Structure 1
């Protein structure tokens, strides 16, 4: 069976002129924004309940949302050194595509390679200065279900900010006169030390490698077992499992550094106002050697992650932790595992008229090119028997080993119960 996704030509969606969205001027980047390179981030929100004309409904709501979120319709401007400097509120618009898929959503789930056709892409690996800050595609399926694919320039917003924006679009699509959360687009935040900003940006992307895309689940029973033994959060338990299984599958030398890195939301620590949707995260490393991670008890890895979290306030000061604790010469890129979570950010609360998404996930693909070796914890939409994880953390030659280690850990846990 051949499945075809037919797309319209991209159009620029702007806010209605009469509502005053053509705001001019600039918005300076915070030091948190400057920690990030202009890399694209993509997500799919899959809705199995139909709404009336999803393409036009969401397109109209997007235009209305840009009244308040007008920087999203602007463009990123670089400084003299070539690094991102500020956002020009030019009103040039968000790139929007409508599409039709020649199948129903149930059929689509058996064709994961087509998922790459549902999220719009930038022409280049990095977002360029004349690119839109946000790309959106709405694809309607034959059953009436639809998928909203978004790709945005990470310098504009973090995942929490994008979830807030999509919730606002959903509220307007449902006929609300205004979003329930008033967006805060500019706020004075603490200035991070310049050396820390430069170090963080330098580690974002230095070349890419081919990684296998895997859709896996860490069961609630395994998570509960780990937490019963050593406490910690759901994230701590899942990250520890992924860290150990990946390290065992790749078979690093025992004295090889294999850092785990995750993002810490700093909003509470810096006093960000409710509604602040721009970047307010920092990378939090957990340093350990391969032998410790592969051969130790998983509960000891949870303790390392919890200890790193306790040091999160120190990320705000020079030498207080975080990236500044990493070696002057960082380990090879493939040694590092990045675990990020989309849970508890609000993506699973987005509603365009008939309920929340059945699933939220990054686009699938058999092999993807990435520089960050990520595992992404997805919101609890469909995987009710555990935490759904989209993994892009192993090369093709290590994929089977990674899956075997995950299966073996679940079997070992059940054998102990």
Structure 2
């Protein structure tokens, strides 16, 4: 069927109190973690199947109240005239908001089945250029109401102001205020340059390359789930040998890593490196509190990486050990230690590499505007220049680790899915 999305005129939602819109705005210096991601945009999609009264108006009012507490998000980026240093001016200018309606029920839209994958761009507001401009709002929000009463919240933000955990804190606060709470349940903390260490040089090089002018690759979308039964078997089999329980992220990522390596090995050099690059939340390593909503994520490489053959044919226990070992190295990299055996950027950005970002426990699953928590949360995996996967997404009707990926060529799609089916 033809899906028609009708958008209202964008408007600015400002903080609800005058104290949040000062005549002389306070400037807050951003950390090196914020600078690394400055002016890059990211979108998330939150699907709610429980209807609420006037979802767009309800969320807009609660968002205005939430911005009283999230001063940075209602501000604007400032670039120093003399030194080019970045800061955020708490101007209270607000965020962009769009109310939208769709001419169908949510059940009619299969977002990742052609041609509906193209609908994603209609479910969120996009910045007018490929990257965010200094004058742009730091956050864009769209509420799309379907004919059945369900709605999708699309959130796009300038990464300089928050990471995924920070946006989850904002949405949690908006939900709490929409449900009648007087104030957010978590005390919010803004970016603190003196708290954060220097952004690790390797992570900075990876992020800079990712945000550069690499040629996009047309990898097909895959909406897949590693069943919890599979994850449970892996955890039961190798848990005692690891010294600590195997996590859902470790088990699910190991499955993806092995299945993908098996799928691509026949057409490549089996003795070349198969790097795994993952995003790591650094909050507990640097002492950031629960309400810290600025960027606190680093990028880490499992090193030395196995070969494609080793990843494809090795024991699952060995892959989990490599992933865990990489996680254990994160505190050292934040303290300035170098990781030995890291391949060059040419290898890290080759087809044999796998980039994984986990959204498990970010807090998106707790958002509730009055009709219940989201049925699913999606990260927009665009036409990336690297094989990428957003893993462990909250998804109520899938018993396992839901993942959205663009990480295999079309000619390897069937082989990957066949390998994944062997684990179920």
The TM-score, its normalising length taken from structure 1, stands at: 0.90
**8 Å CA contact retained: 1:342, 1:377:** yes
Match of 1:122 in 2: 127
Match of 1:103 in 2: 104
Match of 1:173 in 2: 178
Matched, 1:183 2:199: no
Match of 1:89 in 2: 90
**8 Å CA contact retained: 1:205, 1:372:** no
Residue among 278, 285, 288 paired with 1:272: 288
Deviates more, 1:208-217 or 1:375-384: 375-384
Q: Which runs of 5+ in 1 are unaligned?
A: 411-417
Match of 2:149 in 1: 144
Matched, 1:246 2:260: yes
Question: How far off its partner does 1:333 sit?
Answer: 3.8
Deviates more, 1:131-140 or 1:285-294: 285-294
2: CA distance between counterparts of 1:210 and 1:130?
31
Match of 1:289 in 2: 307
Residue among 202, 212, 220 paired with 2:208: 202
Question: How far off its partner does 1:390 sit?
Answer: 0.9
Match of 2:316 in 1: 298
Match of 1:389 in 2: 403
Deviations 1:210-245 (A, max 9, x none): 221111111112111111222211100100111111
Matched, 1:312 2:330: yes
The TM-score, its normalising length taken from structure 2, stands at: 0.89
Deviates more, 1:135-144 or 1:256-265: 256-265
Match of 1:413 in 2: none
1: CA distance between counterparts of 2:187 and 2:417?
44
Deviates more, 1:247-256 or 1:280-289: 247-256
Change (3 A) 1:151 1:104: same
**8 Å CA contact retained: 1:44, 1:362:** yes
**8 Å CA contact retained: 1:344, 1:379:** no
Q: Secondary structure at the match of 2:298?
A: strand
1:4-403 matches, within 5 Å, as: 4-22=4-22, 24-78=25-79, 85-109=86-110, 111-187=116-192, 188-192=194-198, 195-196=201-202, 198-206=204-212, 207=214, 208-231=216-239, 232-251=246-265, 252-286=268-302, 287-321=305-339, 326-331=342-347, 332-363=349-380, 368-403=382-417
Q: Which runs of 5+ in 2 are unaligned?
A: 240-245
1: CA distance between counterparts of 2:414 and 2:121?
23
**8 Å CA contact retained: 2:160, 2:295:** yes
1: CA distance between counterparts of 2:390 and 2:84?
27
Change (3 A) 1:261 1:118: same
Question: How far off its partner does 1:335 sit?
Answer: 2.9
Deviates more, 1:383-392 or 1:197-206: 197-206
Change (3 A) 1:342 1:400: same
2: CA distance between counterparts of 1:264 and 1:298?
21
**8 Å CA contact retained: 1:104, 1:143:** yes
Question: How far off its partner does 1:200 sit?
Answer: 4.3
2: CA distance between counterparts of 1:56 and 1:82?
42
Q: Secondary structure at the match of 2:219?
A: strand
2: CA distance between counterparts of 1:118 and 1:49?
18
